[in-house]
Amino acid sequence: MMQQSPQEAGAELSSLCNELAAEYDLTESAYSFGGHSFSFLSVLDSYALLDRISPEEFVKDEQMPYWAEIWPSAITLSSFIADELQIESQHVIEIGAGVGMASVVAAWKGASVLATDYSLEALRFARYNGLKNRVSLAFERLDWRVVQCNERFDVLFAADVLYERVNLLPIVNALDKLLKPHGVAYIADPRRRMAEQFLELAVENNFTITSFPKKYTGSSVPVTVNIYKLIRA
């Protein structure tokens, strides 16, 4: 990927901000990971986006605008990346990246990062957040039901992707296709019941799992988030 000059990055950041502000009600929030300050743009009210989904689109993909919000699992995973992982020079992919929080933090830690999402709108926000936080990211649309990415990665990140049963086996298959033979996946989930079924499928498909229980305390009610480390058996 060609490195932009600061002037080029600044011009793109300003242009993208204006475009997004014309289309969405926005909010920009500050976070601290690994002792470093970050800023992330997201949609002020993700529920307002429901009106934009036509019945035809919903029947085709059943895609809800989950990407538009920053969830506790993404914040917890980002903190875990910043504090507990050494990923410098690693080739990293995030699936279901949403607005790109974990991807940005991974790039800040020195990884070469491909941020992916099914939603092209999400990738625009991820692009903005990469520019805003002055990290270099690559972007690609990825449908984990039909993975067409030919690259293999050292590390895969995902947060809050285990919410529908129909996605569980496709995500397991995506891990198998996207990870190098000794690659590692870290998936953050707020202890949904679906996660148990996902882990059973992962074990059946030759993955071993280690669980790291974490607590997100940034909301009025603390949220327990499990980070699952998956490697091939």
Backbone angles phi and psi of 216, in degrees to 5: -95, 125
Q: Determine the distance from the C-alpha atom of residue 211 to the mean position of all C-alpha atoms in its chain, rounded to a whole number.
A: 19
pLDDT tens for 21-71 read: 998 889 999 999 999 999 999 998 765 565 555 545 544 555 666 788 899
1 within a domain of the structure (yes/no) = no
SS3 128: helix
pLDDT above 70: percentage of residues in the chain: 90
Average pLDDT over residues 152-159: 98
How far apart CA 79 and CA 223 sit, in angstroms, is: 14
Q: Would you state the structure tokens that stand for residue 200, as one six-digit string?
A: 């059973």
Are 68 and 48 in contact by the 8 Å Cβ rule? The answer is no
DSSP letter string over 10-69? HHHHHHHHHHHHHHS-EEEEEEEETTEEEEEEEES-GGGGGGG--HHHHHHH----GGGS
Domain span at residue 84 reads 6-232
209 within a domain of the structure (yes/no) = yes
What pTM, to 2 d.p., does this model score?
0.91
Query: Which residues make Cβ contacts (< 8 Å) with residue 217, sequence separation at least 6?
Result: none
pLDDT tens for 114-140 read: 999 999 999 999 999 999 999 999 999
Are 90 and 115 in contact by the 8 Å Cβ rule? The answer is no
Backbone angles phi and psi of 97, in degrees to 5: -70, -20
Q: Would you state the pLDDT for residue 1?
A: 52
Number of domains in the chain: 1
CA separation (Å) from 183 to 67, 155, 160, 197? 25, 6, 20, 22
86-89's contacts with Cβ under 8 Å and 24+ in sequence apart are: 87/111, 87/154, 87/155
Q: Would you state the pLDDT for residue 58?
A: 45
Q: Which residue has the tokens 């035809």?
A: 56
Q: Which residue has the tokens 């067409």?
A: 148
64 within a domain of the structure (yes/no) = yes
CATH number assigned to the domain comprising residue 171: 3.40.50.150
SS3 220: coil
How far apart CA 131 and CA 12 sit, in angstroms, is: 8
141 within a domain of the structure (yes/no) = yes
